Structure 1
Amino acid sequence: MRKWVGLVALLVAEAMNLLDATIVQVAAPVIHTDLGGRTADIQWFSAAYTLPFAALLITGGRLGDIYGRRRLFRLGVVGFVLASTACALATQSGVLIGARAVQGLTAATIIPQTIGLIRSSFSGPELPKALGLIGPVMGLAGISGPLLGGVITEATSWRVVFLVNVPLGIAVLALARLLPESRSPERPSLDLAGTVLLITGSALLVFPILQSRDWILLPLGIAVLGGCVLQQRRSGSRLLELSLFRRSGFGAALGTSALFFAVMSGLTLVVVLHQQLTLHHSVMRASLVLLPWSAVSGIASWCAGQWLIQRFGSRLMYVGLGVLLIGLLATRISLVPALGICGAGVGLFTTAFFTEALHRVQPQETGSAAGLLNAVQQFGGTLGVAVLGTIFLHHPAAPQRAFLVATAVIVVTVATTHLMRSPRSRQSGPGSRERARTAR
């Protein structure tokens, strides 16, 4: 019972992270109107959070391996609450963007601990059920975020949307004392050089896309990230557990995560911007448009975790991607129902994806794997915001261009999904993977 109560703290922390992101996306145009600045600042309100979040998640996971995941989790929550308060007090766009970056940094010490603690607390048939609860909670946060963003911004001020994190953070800290401490059985060391290379390369890659200039930085960013890979091969204190890449399909899982969540984050921003900047709808009406996506996603994820994964195994990922493609194509007919279809695909895919991606990870690799999966997810989300947001801002009267690009990316994701599945899972029948996992 204690581990299920502790799971509540982890789920609330995951929800707090998504809640903050979705609230800010809905409120971003209003924030820009109030604080002024460049149009690109609208994208930076999100990217300033997700970029350091993505770049430091691996380090956050490693710190949890070294010093204890519960300890890092609690420290991160305290820092996140303080940074949220600073966001609420910002008087200029630059100050807000800086405070958002600090939020992302502190969140990077929270989120890798959640998956790591779930992975180390649950096993066998309990693991997909525990992971399956993430979907409904995230779906609820996804529903609450846009609605709260709309209600709070219209009724009070956009500043209050950041203060929502304060009571949530206090509740998480109260529940976190019930979590058991968890760390890697083999104490790893911290790779500062690898961390610096990863942060620098990521920033150089994303900055020119958001700014639509300084394109020379793109190849420089790729070169720095390539240098990071070489440094990891030679370093005695690695940022990453390179043994993860010898696990069947783990590398493909990283590519799948980056592509999939690039579409999710980018499309959410495009929908909000289209509603407010092109159609001139209120922030409340814009938030309600996202309701079908979030609500159906939470329901589908819960069903997947409770029943469908046990019956269909990793094949459920294909079903989710197929449903998502249908939803994206249907946006040309009617946006709101199509977003509901997209939400069903998202919920079916995500629960099956994380179950498949993590089940072969060893205990000493948990922190690195959780941080890496979350990092590429957030980095993909940052690129999605940059690319799809830029496409929309250049062609605000034609949002379907962004949806067309998203459709193409999901088609590629189908191929990477096939590569991440183990040969056994491709040959086995429905449910046999779960029975094999239980037996192990």
Structure 2
Amino acid sequence: MPTTTRYRRRWAALAVLLVAEAMNLLDATIVQVAGPAIHADLPGPAADIPWFSAAYTLPFAAFLITGGRLGDIFGRARTFRIGVAGFVLASLACAAAPDAGLLIGARAVQGAAAALIIPQTIGLIRALFDGAELAKALGTIGPVMGLSAVTGPLLGGLLTQAVSWRAVFLVNVPLGLAVLLAARLLREDRAATRPRLDVTGTLLVAGGAGLLVYPLIDPAGTDWGLLAAGGVLLVVFGFQQRRAAAPLVEPSLFAHRGFPAALAGSLLFFAVMTGLMQVVPMQLQLGSGADVRTAGLTLLPLSAGLAVSSYVAGARLVPKFGSRVMFAGLALLVTGVLAMEAGGVGAYPWALALCGLGMGTFTVPFFTAALDRVRPHETGSAAGLLNAVQQLGGTLGVALLGGLYLGTGTAAAALGLGAALAVAAAVAVVPLTARKKGSAPDLSSRRGP
């Protein structure tokens, strides 16, 4: 095959992977705006609204690391195609759902399918490119994700207002079919040594995460017994991983305090970020009577602030100031959340812009610092675990902030909790900036994140 043809084929294959990544992020954000409209059309308890989002992100988080391991075992391109096919079918089931219960079930299948898709993308990109081209290819992920984050809430509002909430799910069908048709461009790739699947670990982490989230969404009251059971299962999972022959998580990651701090910070930060994007549309539609298009447009300053600050942080701030930039981002986030709590709906546009600026300013140095001391053989496990905890944090944010809003009938309590979680995230990430004996992570010496 001529060099020019191979070059074009590689970049066309990259486009396939980027569309799949964008499809996942769109699906995670587009429903947050449409939730109240879905609830109005599919009568049931108000507690169903957070589940329209959480039912997707919970299985996504729980099976993300397992999805990566399945790609190692059966081939990343094959696992990718299976995940996309399942995602398309689940999207059709969501669009046709006659009641809230079936919709929530179909959303869970969507999330599980996404857990097969997303872990394969980095491995497949590495199989396609090397050297300078690999860095260039990986660099395309950020802008695509930023654009998807901006587009999701806006598209959700416009489609729901102009057509129906069902169109929100049908968007995935042509995208998914296009990805499946073009997936023949992908080169098959799998681990050099075929690992075993840790079924026990998968069941423990999925059960523990589910038992933690389920009682938090119920606005009628928290079932502390289920919460305790979820915590116990996750503790058992930790011990089981130390003894497993083929653990889902590399145990050596927890030998230094920086990585556990990163997990705690990620959990808390993304709980605030995702919970905020759940509560604001609910308050606007259920509390203020705004239409779904207005709710989607109101989130635009947050998405725009996130996109702009991510670029500025990576290009300017992190090279100059290093990991200290994280705390400036968290300060902006807390200021924006408190401004919404104090100023009400009228303050939402500019306060959400502050939140978005804080989110982008935090995330770029955070992930750089979180992976700074991870050794090469730990990188895959560390990245997968951070991604899974990020999704679990988002699920908990939807449960905590959304459940509190539905239980109190006011956004102020939920926003107050969000500010408290952001402060806790700041405390949790302090060890990431601490100097290690013999070496010091110096992000400012790098050209980018």
- TM-score after normalising by structure 1: 0.90
Match of 2:364 in 1: 351
Partner residue, 1:154: 161
**Post-superposition CA distance 1:97-150 (Å, at most 9, x none):** 110110011011112223455678789998887666444323322222122112
Moved more, 316-325 or 43-52: 316-325
User: Contact 2:146/2:307 (CA < 8 Å) preserved in 1?
Assistant: yes
Offset of 1:400 from its aligned partner? Answer: 2.1
Q: Give 1:96 shift.
A: 0.6
Per-residue CA distance 1:367-389 (angstroms, 9 max, x = gap): 43333112111111111111111
Say whether the 8 Å CA contact 2:47–2:406 is kept in structure 1: no
Q: 1:395 aligns with which of 408, 415, 425?
A: 408
Q: Is 1:14–1:111's contact at 8 Å kept on the other side of the alignment?
A: yes
1:171, distance to aligned residue in structure 2 (A): 3.4
Q: Compare 416-425 and 384-393 and name the one that shifted more.
A: 416-425
- Residue of structure 1 equivalent to 2:239: 230
Hey, what's the Cα distance between the residues in 1 that align with 2:373 and 2:117? 23
Provide the C-alpha distance between the structure 1 equivalents of 2:321 and 2:127, rounded to a whole number of angstroms: 24
2-structure distance, mates of 1:142, 1:13: 14
* Conserved 8 A contact 2:80-2:117: yes
- Does the 8 Å contact 1:133/1:305 carry over to 2? no
Which of 421, 439, 446 lines up with 1:409 in the alignment? 421
**One-letter code aligned to 1:344:** L
In the alignment, does 2:350 pair up with 1:337?
yes
Question: Which of 168, 171, 190 is the aligned partner of 2:197?
Answer: 190
Distance 1:249 1:430, change over 3 A: closer
Give the Cα separation in 1 of the matches to 2:413 and 2:133.
Answer: 42
Residue 242 to residue 122, structure 1, CA distance change in 2 (3 Å): farther
1:358 CA displacement: 3.4
Alignment of 1:9-20 (within 5 A): 9-20=16-27
- How far is the alpha carbon of 1:294 from its aligned partner? 0.7
Given candidates 38, 47, 50, the residue that maps to 1:43 is 50
Partner of 1:106: 113
2:333 aligns with 324
Partner of 2:3: none
2:382 paired with 1:369: yes
Do 1:24 and 1:45's aligned partners in 2 also have CA atoms closer than 8 Å? yes
**Is residue 2:91 matched to residue 1:84?**
yes
Aligned residue number for residue 140 of structure 1: 147
Higher RCO (CA 8 Å, separation ≥ 6 residues): 1
8 A Cα contact 2:314 2:364, kept in partner: yes
Letter in 2 for 1:326: T
**Aligned with 1:262: secondary structure?**
helix
Number of aligned residue pairs: give it.
435
Range 47-56 or range 322-331, more displaced: 322-331
The CA deviation at 1:282 is: 0.4
Three-state SS of the structure 2 residue aligned to 1:188 is coil
Distance apart, 1:342 and its partner CA: 0.9
- Residue 434 of structure 1 and its aligned partner are, at CA, apart by 5.1
- Assess if the C-alpha contact under 8 Å between 1:132 and 1:351 holds in 2: no
Over aligned residues, Cα RMSD in angstroms? Answer: 2.8
Aligned equivalents of 1:246, 1:123: Cα separation in 2: 31
- Seen in structure 2, the aligned counterparts of structure 1 residues 265 and 386 have a Cα distance that, compared at 3 Å, is same
For 2:4, the equivalent position in structure 1 comes to: none
Relative distance call for 1:413 and 1:285 in structure 2 (3 A) is same
Q: What amino acid sits opposite 2:26 in the alignment?
A: L
Residue of 23, 37, 55 corresponding to 2:30: 23
The equivalent of 1:289 in structure 2 is 298
What stretches of structure 1 of length at least 5 have no aligned partner?
none
Q: Counterparts of 2:253 and 2:120 in 1: how far apart (Å)?
A: 18
Letter of the 1:270 counterpart = V
1:254 aligns with 2:270: no
